[in-house]
Structure 1
Amino acid sequence: MVAWDWLADADYWTSRLVFQRLLAALYLVAFLSAANQFRALLGEHGITPIPRFLRSVPFRRAPSVFHLHYSDRFFAVLAWTGVLVSGALLLGLADAAPVWLALLLWAVPWALYLSIVNVGQVWYGYGWESLLVETGFLAIFLGPAHVAPPVLVLWLMRWLLFRVEFGAGLIKIRGDPCWRDLTCLYYHHETQPIPGPLSWYFHHLPKPLHKVEVLASHLAQLVVPFALFAPQPIATAAAAIVIVTQAWLMLSGNFSWLNAVTIVLALSVVDDSVFAPLLPNPPGNLTDPPLWHLALVFAVVALVMVLSYQPVRNLLSRRQLMNYSFTSLRLVNTYGAFGSIGRTRHEVVIEGTRDTELTEDTAWREYEFKGKPGDPYRRPRQVAPYHLRLDWQLWFAALSAQQARGWLPGLAAKLLAGDRDTLKLVARDPFPGSSPRFLRATLYRYRFTTWRERGESGAWWVREPVSPVLRTCRLAEDGDVVPAATGSQET
């Protein structure tokens, strides 16, 4: 192959292989997350039903196959189809396919997941959803294993990785002053949405090391991204720094697949010489991409260049938006995270009781969720790259009373009704085989235990109640929640 050396480069054959396999694995996780959680959150009888959303939002604002038809069964079929197609791509079943078929196979999970994200409402309002969609769109055009990787698509991936990293760096340096005085990690490991098994230990690192962490983050996100466009081996070295910093973040907390997708993008930058000792070399009979494929790639490059105008303008703006999509297809987006850092941690604790009358002696039983802190003696869990959507929204509910008012009463109604789909999202149901008569949600202040407290009690957290989030309520005949009788004990 010599005709298109400047457009297709065999030196990235293994990089493409690694990228495609890992992206397929992340698609698989994303579709599993959707299949396992949608009924309680988005289903016909969910907390925020998709049919109600579709009645108020036109197709042009939220392109989705669900505008053609929605039922819970159809959603399940779509999600499990995504799982099957992602699994096939993970196993490499598209590698030997004709170019047109390979592109079509990679377009399927992109279109299906975009359809889910665009009707996912508050449960899908995260930057990593758009990042997976945008990455998946570019992956469509990489081609199968018997064709040399299109260079321009690889450069578009570098441009995406640059925006992810540089956008995150700018949102920090422009945001909370603690990023500028290097003290944000005094708090972040404790106050992040879902701490992981090692977060307690990260929190207790010496403060000078926390400052080193922040400084390293600034270098990795504000300086290193420019080196992604340098010749090899400089670009590979820059990608390696991104991979190491993202892996550090994965160890320190649970951020769904945000870090994983970023690592996968960085791996597409790595020169094949790095993979040579570990993975097979490219076959000697690689062919050039067909002319129509290259023409399609040029069209995609032109589209991305045009759509990059607003994200670039956003990067240069002092009012930088974080995790924002300028188009309904989410093709070229803005990214960033944790522009501000909480100094204290609050959690919504939901409790119920079977008592028929509420008194000061009422026995309240607490619901335990799969990822968010609850029982102070339970060690934080590793759940990423899986995304526990309800747990994340409960973290936001603890930050915003308005956020809580939007959907928390709906969750309370489901728990009071003993809804099976909702209870599947709970780690421990305190009323197995029955349901509570009354429910309440209380805001608690949480902090990590000290080394001494942990040694003495075995607890990971210390907590104290702050205020009601959802006052004591019961289930009305129409299925809505109503306040408990006047005079009932509420706190």
Structure 2
Amino acid sequence: MTQVRYTRNLFLRGICIIYLFAFLSFYIQIPGLYGDNGILPARTQVDLKARATLLNKLKQKPTLLWFAPYLGLNVEYMLDVLSLLGAVLSFIGFVTQTFCIAPVFAGLWSLYFSLYQIGQTFIWFQWDSLLLETGFLCIFIAPFWYPRRAKRSSTPSDGVTFWTIRWLLFRLMFASGVVKLSSRCPVWWKLDALNIHFESQCIPTPLAWYAHHLPTWFLRLSTVFTYVIEIAIPLLFFFPNRKVRLIAFYSQLFLQICIIATGNYAFFNFLTICLCISLLDDQFFYKQRSQKNASHILNHLSTLISILVYGGILYGAYIYFGLKITDDFTIKSNIAFTQEEFDFVIQRAVPISIYVGAVSLVFTIADSLTNSMLTKGMYNKITTALITVSYIVPVLFIFVISLVPHYTSLVPVTNSTVIAQIKQVQDKVEHLRLVNSYGLFRRMTGTDGRPEVIIEGSNDIDGPWKDYEFLYKAGNVNNSLPFVAPHQPRLDWQMWFAALGTYHQNPFVMSLAYRLLNGQSEVLDLINTVESPFKNKPPKYIKASIYHYHYTPWSQTSSTRAWWTREKVGEYFPIFSKDHQPLIEYLTKLKILQEKPGFKIKAEPLKLILDKLRWSVCNVEASLLLWGVFTAGCTLIVAGYYDRPVAKKK
């Protein structure tokens, strides 16, 4: 049996790190996003004064926030409690393997799911759903407890439960590649996506500016290899040859590192790297040496198979993307197949991928059951077999319901082939985010320049108008591009999406404008108040305009320090004042503004403690706080304070 005990433990600790980043990042932004005076108050999602029973409230919206009255807190402070509790549990799981157990992961999932329930538009990102799905699987992957003298070998059920992560990784990567072409976006089909992507993405890093100015032929070739890594190589995740899977691991790792270097995508890429650990086994970390000639022969044969497999993939890329070396030693590339041909292949490839996954799962189950019967003693055989079966049942259930989003996101025309009963079951559990559909960058935006909403304030309706500066999103053309991941500034992110539509499609923008007009300190903490012209007194009027941003050309780097150039396109929303009646009525209708008082806080000592904690945190830049806590955890691990072997008594 392939040993995955160490690999599994490493994965679980990695997920604890991701949870730690997610909870801390969320906690920092609670007052401005979800506080009573925030942009989208959380109390609009849970009415603590409702007379319904607790059970009915949980059925209506399953979140632990309903327990706030039992602690004497309101919704905002209960959000603090849930976030801090999640951060503490994940930090402990990070620094000590002893707490990487199923009950802890059940708690982490429940806490993050509770936050997700009231997060509204600020938390509806694919990585939030991915974390919930991964976290739920961890409940089955993690042991219920770690014995004091834990066995070094894997248990038969480890292979089955850990397999679910590989299946999730496959669905994530394969879908991310397929949707780029199935969307029929002309930019992706012309291989020009990366010529736009580094400039148009939400929050680019400084390296994105340099990547944008790479030669066009190189960016087109990089797009080709993105397709290869995301579409072709994921099909090898279940290949029986270990070296083939290792190369697949390195290719995925390389892609994620490149994305981290050029874009701030919160904890998404770090979480994907954790999922890639499922392609490894314990032998990757503890190589076993053997002097037997047969082992050397098998090793050379494995290498030959890997060369043939990946040689075939590269040859396929050469044929289907028309790769040619030109006279000036550049590589020319063009897609050499039609959209109809691609759709024809995908309609058959998706069912085949499911069959491959099913066969891999069957072999994994058979291996686990066989090994459970190899344990010594009849009692141990029966017990181990029953435990293994108890894990196999939920794994099969998860695999079956995952077929629904896998089909619907990739080949909608084949939805009729999915058994109706499976759809019904998946619909009943869909709100729990147990399985999800994925596929980022379905269509490339910003082909004419990245649109940005620039909010302006003034004390005179005729001007002058002065810009509000955000902490991370593009605004002042001279502001440096940031490294902010794994923290996700959710307001900055959502402003990027708002620029792709209208303010009518993004009600939170109206709430943001009203809070700025009233100088709400909680919301001001989410933007750059240091450079704000209204940090001491809010403006009387506010409006927003749409600008198109472009990176400064490479040729101007010596003459300007600006990262961007911009041009005004038009109005985003008209001039508002804080007593603008239609604005007030609109926000009142959305229950963002409420006349009735909120739930009265009774636990004053606990409130005081939470206030002091927040005061100490708000003085530290968010990304520095996250990396600082991570560094503290690494220091504890290296120092050996936790997980230190207990000395035997003489």
Residue 47 of structure 1 aligns to a residue whose secondary structure is coil
Does the aligned pair in 1 maintain the 2:163–2:278 contact within 8 Å? no
Q: Which residue of 1 aligns with 2:107?
A: 108
Residues 23, 166 of structure 1: CA spacing in aligned structure 2 closer, same or farther, 3 A cutoff? same
Q: Which residue of 1 aligns with 2:96?
A: 92
Residues 222, 60 of structure 1: CA spacing in aligned structure 2 closer, same or farther, 3 A cutoff? farther
Structure 1 residue 293: deviation in Å? 4.9
Q: Which residue of 2 aligns with 1:125?
A: 124
Does the aligned pair in 1 maintain the 2:9–2:97 contact within 8 Å? no
Residues 315, 396 of structure 1: CA spacing in aligned structure 2 closer, same or farther, 3 A cutoff? closer
Residues 481, 368 of structure 1: CA spacing in aligned structure 2 closer, same or farther, 3 A cutoff? farther
Residue 455 of structure 2 aligns to a residue whose secondary structure is strand
Structure 1 residue 316: deviation in Å? 4.4
User: Equivalents in 2 of 1:173, 1:320: separation in Å?
Assistant: 17
Encode CA deviations 1:278-300: one digit per residue, 9 max, x unaligned.
xxxxxxxxx99966653442232
Encode CA deviations 1:172-222: one digit per residue, 9 max, x unaligned.
011212222211111111111111111111111111111111111111111
Opposite residue 113 of structure 2, the aligned amino acid is L
Q: 1:38 aligns with which of 30, 53, 61?
A: 30
Residues 336, 58 of structure 1: CA spacing in aligned structure 2 closer, same or farther, 3 A cutoff? farther
Structure 1 residue 93: deviation in Å? 5.0
Structure 1 residue 427: deviation in Å? 2.2
User: Equivalents in 1 of 2:32, 2:554: separation in Å?
Assistant: 39
1:299 aligns with 2:393: yes
Structure 1 residue 305: deviation in Å? 2.2
Residue 436 of structure 2 aligns to a residue whose secondary structure is coil
Opposite residue 366 of structure 1, the aligned amino acid is D
Residue 253 of structure 2 aligns to a residue whose secondary structure is helix
User: Equivalents in 1 of 2:79, 2:414: separation in Å?
Assistant: 35
Of 123-132 and 467-476, more deviation after overlay is shown by: 467-476
Opposite residue 451 of structure 2, the aligned amino acid is H
Does the aligned pair in 2 maintain the 1:62–1:328 contact within 8 Å? no
Structure 1 residue 394: deviation in Å? 0.4
User: Equivalents in 2 of 1:66, 1:82: separation in Å?
Assistant: 14
Q: Which residue of 1 aligns with 2:161?
A: 153
Residues 478, 117 of structure 1: CA spacing in aligned structure 2 closer, same or farther, 3 A cutoff? same
Q: Which residue of 2 aligns with 1:385?
A: 486
User: Equivalents in 1 of 2:545, 2:103: separation in Å?
Assistant: 49
Does the aligned pair in 2 maintain the 1:443–1:467 contact within 8 Å? yes
Does the aligned pair in 2 maintain the 1:167–1:336 contact within 8 Å? yes
Q: 2:437 aligns with which of 315, 319, 334?
A: 334
Residues 224, 60 of structure 1: CA spacing in aligned structure 2 closer, same or farther, 3 A cutoff? farther
Structure 1 residue 242: deviation in Å? 0.9
Opposite residue 85 of structure 2, the aligned amino acid is T
Structure 1 residue 306: deviation in Å? 2.8
Of 84-93 and 307-316, more deviation after overlay is shown by: 307-316
Does the aligned pair in 2 maintain the 1:474–1:481 contact within 8 Å? no
1:447 aligns with 2:550: yes
Residue 427 of structure 1 aligns to a residue whose secondary structure is coil
Opposite residue 470 of structure 1, the aligned amino acid is F
Structure 1 residue 351: deviation in Å? 1.8
Opposite residue 408 of structure 1, the aligned amino acid is V
User: Equivalents in 2 of 1:47, 1:305: separation in Å?
Assistant: 39
Residues 340, 414 of structure 1: CA spacing in aligned structure 2 closer, same or farther, 3 A cutoff? same
For structure 1, which runs of at least 5 residues remain unmatched after alignment?
A: 278-286, 484-491
TM-score, normalisation: structure 1:
0.86
User: Equivalents in 2 of 1:346, 1:266: separation in Å?
Assistant: 34
1:351 aligns with 2:452: no
Q: 1:171 aligns with which of 157, 175, 179?
A: 179
Q: Which residue of 2 aligns with 1:199?
A: 208
Larger % of helix: which? 2
Of 335-344 and 226-235, more deviation after overlay is shown by: 226-235
Residue 305 of structure 1 aligns to a residue whose secondary structure is helix
Does the aligned pair in 2 maintain the 1:257–1:385 contact within 8 Å? yes
Of 424-433 and 384-393, more deviation after overlay is shown by: 424-433
Residue 441 of structure 1 aligns to a residue whose secondary structure is strand
TM-score, normalisation: structure 2:
0.66
User: Equivalents in 2 of 1:292, 1:381: separation in Å?
Assistant: 52
Does the aligned pair in 2 maintain the 1:347–1:444 contact within 8 Å? yes
User: Equivalents in 1 of 2:57, 2:124: separation in Å?
Assistant: 18
Opposite residue 393 of structure 1, the aligned amino acid is Q
Does the aligned pair in 1 maintain the 2:37–2:522 contact within 8 Å? no
Residue 266 of structure 1 aligns to a residue whose secondary structure is helix
Opposite residue 410 of structure 1, the aligned amino acid is S
Does the aligned pair in 2 maintain the 1:12–1:271 contact within 8 Å? yes
Does the aligned pair in 1 maintain the 2:13–2:97 contact within 8 Å? no
Q: Which residue of 2 aligns with 1:309?
A: 403
Q: 1:81 aligns with which of 85, 91, 96?
A: 85
Encode CA deviations 1:219-238: one digit per residue, 9 max, x unaligned.
11111111111121222221
Q: 1:225 aligns with which of 220, 234, 241?
A: 234
User: Equivalents in 1 of 2:170, 2:511: separation in Å?
Assistant: 40
User: Equivalents in 2 of 1:431, 1:386: separation in Å?
Assistant: 26
Residue 338 of structure 1 aligns to a residue whose secondary structure is coil
Q: Which residue of 1 aligns with 2:245?
A: 235
Does the aligned pair in 2 maintain the 1:228–1:236 contact within 8 Å? no
Residues 290, 67 of structure 1: CA spacing in aligned structure 2 closer, same or farther, 3 A cutoff? farther
Residues 320, 173 of structure 1: CA spacing in aligned structure 2 closer, same or farther, 3 A cutoff? farther
Q: Which residue of 1 aligns with 2:138?
A: 139
User: Equivalents in 1 of 2:556, 2:231: separation in Å?
Assistant: 39
Residues 218, 364 of structure 1: CA spacing in aligned structure 2 closer, same or farther, 3 A cutoff? same
Structure 1 residue 474: deviation in Å? 1.1
Encode CA deviations 1:423-447: one digit per residue, 9 max, x unaligned.
1111233322322222111111100
User: Equivalents in 1 of 2:35, 2:229: separation in Å?
Assistant: 41
Residues 466, 371 of structure 1: CA spacing in aligned structure 2 closer, same or farther, 3 A cutoff? same
User: Equivalents in 1 of 2:406, 2:34: separation in Å?
Assistant: 34
Does the aligned pair in 1 maintain the 2:503–2:509 contact within 8 Å? no
Opposite residue 352 of structure 1, the aligned amino acid is G
User: Equivalents in 1 of 2:504, 2:552: separation in Å?
Assistant: 28
Of 261-270 and 426-435, more deviation after overlay is shown by: 426-435
Opposite residue 397 of structure 1, the aligned amino acid is A
User: Equivalents in 1 of 2:202, 2:513: separation in Å?
Assistant: 21
Residues 260, 443 of structure 1: CA spacing in aligned structure 2 closer, same or farther, 3 A cutoff? same
Structure 1 residue 275: deviation in Å? 2.5
Q: Which residue of 2 aligns with 1:488?
A: none
Of 45-54 and 379-388, more deviation after overlay is shown by: 45-54
Residue 311 of structure 1 aligns to a residue whose secondary structure is helix
Residue 369 of structure 1 aligns to a residue whose secondary structure is coil
Structure 1 residue 358: deviation in Å? 2.7
User: Equivalents in 2 of 1:22, 1:370: separation in Å?
Assistant: 28
Opposite residue 411 of structure 2, the aligned amino acid is S
Opposite residue 40 of structure 1, the aligned amino acid is G
- State which structure, 1 or 2, has the greater radius of gyration over its C-alpha atoms: 2
User: Equivalents in 1 of 2:413, 2:564: separation in Å?
Assistant: 36
Residue 463 of structure 1 aligns to a residue whose secondary structure is strand
Encode CA deviations 1:100-131: one digit per residue, 9 max, x unaligned.
xx210111111100111122110011100000
Does the aligned pair in 1 maintain the 2:503–2:572 contact within 8 Å? no
**Two-structure CA RMSD over aligned residues (Å):** 2.7
Residue 98 of structure 2 aligns to a residue whose secondary structure is coil
For structure 2, which runs of at least 5 residues remain unmatched after alignment?
A: 51-55, 69-73, 288-379, 416-425, 587-650
Does the aligned pair in 1 maintain the 2:37–2:520 contact within 8 Å? no
Residue 21 of structure 2 aligns to a residue whose secondary structure is helix
User: Equivalents in 2 of 1:247, 1:448: separation in Å?
Assistant: 23
Residues 405, 87 of structure 1: CA spacing in aligned structure 2 closer, same or farther, 3 A cutoff? closer
Of 175-184 and 128-137, more deviation after overlay is shown by: 175-184
Of all paired residues, the percent bearing the same amino acid is 31
Encode CA deviations 1:369-420: one digit per residue, 9 max, x unaligned.
1221111011211111211100011001110005654111100111111111
User: Equivalents in 2 of 1:210, 1:234: separation in Å?
Assistant: 27
Residues 182, 384 of structure 1: CA spacing in aligned structure 2 closer, same or farther, 3 A cutoff? same
User: Equivalents in 2 of 1:143, 1:256: separation in Å?
Assistant: 25
Opposite residue 182 of structure 1, the aligned amino acid is L
User: Equivalents in 2 of 1:410, 1:143: separation in Å?
Assistant: 42
Does the aligned pair in 1 maintain the 2:42–2:75 contact within 8 Å? no
Q: Which residue of 2 aligns with 1:372?
A: 473
Q: Which residue of 2 aligns with 1:253?
A: 263
